[in-house]
Amino acid sequence: MNAGIRGGNLPDVLALLTTYARTLSDLSTVVYTALLYPMMVILITVFLIVMIMIFVMPQFISIFSDFGMRLPFFTQLIVDVCRNPIPTLGIPLGVIGVTAIGLRQVFNATEVGRCIWARIIYSLPVFGVLIRSARLAAFTDLLAILVENQMPLPEAFELAAQAGSDPILKTGAIQIAEKLRQGSSLAQALKEYKILPEVVSWMAGMGELKGTLPQTLKQAAQMYSRQVAVRSQMVQSVFPPMLVVLCAGFITSVFVFAVFLPLIGLLEGLSK
């Protein structure tokens, strides 16, 4: 809006901001939708395991107790969890949860911590790249709008950084803004701080030389938006079936090793 007021074209800027907000909302929806299904599969898996422990395992535990069987370690572990779920399972999970929340708060307390947390998120397979691409798309799109409306480059980088949710981009963009104020070219600043991938930095440098920086940034934003769409589609179409197979295999393995192997041993002993 500051750029629109300075340039005398506030209606056009508001229209661009409306489009940007819609694009940002669409990107957020795509990312959350891609993450929702895997989370639901994991929750259903946990629910099934809990149901097995509550309703199925006690029946087998009574059988094992009646025959005084010596249980394998894994089976004994499952039996202990079923008999004393709070001390054997609830307390360790609670400690892990509290530790994770505490670490998250510690990371959030400082800018360096937020950058470290962001790098951890970006290192996650599939999902890290998806989240990173969505944030890059939002950043470059907003930067294009600011530059297109005659906002000086240093201020444009600072405003785009403040509006974004990526601490790595924010820190780097502020450093780039300071470098630009010192007379550095955009290409040199981007090369030094590396907040954008090398190909995008090269595109931005060429756009600055040719006077087509807004169009170049828009192309970069569109490229990242397409990456988000493609990766989101891949996550929704490929990852859920794989996750279902893995979760089903995990439940089956737990049930077989914890129940059926001791049961087979019992039947073999009775047949002798």
Structural domain spans, the chain: 2-44+127-237
Give yes or no for a contact between 187 and 200, defined as CB atoms under 8 angstroms apart.
Answer: no
Cα 34–26–130 angle (5° rounding)?
40
pLDDT value of position 20? 61
CB atoms under 10 Å from CB of 69, counted, come to 15
How much is the CA Rg of the chain, to the nearest whole Å?
27
pLDDT value of position 270? 64
Q: Which two tokens stand for residue 158?
A: 């600072």
pLDDT value of position 135? 85
Return the closest-CA partner of residue 41 out of 271, 260, 240, 254: 240
CATH of 2-44+127-237, one of 3.40.960.10, 3.40.50.720, 3.90.230.10, 1.20.81.30: 1.20.81.30
Q: Tell if the pTM clears 0.85, that is, is over it.
A: no
pLDDT value of position 269? 64
Instruction: Report how far apart, in Å, the C-alpha atoms of 205 and of each of 93, 94, 164, 185, 190 are.
Output: 50, 50, 22, 8, 8
pLDDT value of position 83? 75
Give yes or no for a contact between 120 and 108, defined as CB atoms under 8 angstroms apart.
Answer: no
What is the C-alpha to C-alpha distance for residues 221 and 135, in angstroms, rounded to an integer? 10
Mean pLDDT by 10 residues, the chain (272 residues): 54 63 69 75 80 78 74 76 75 85 84 86 83 85 83 86 83 90 88 84 86 88 84 76 79 76 70 62
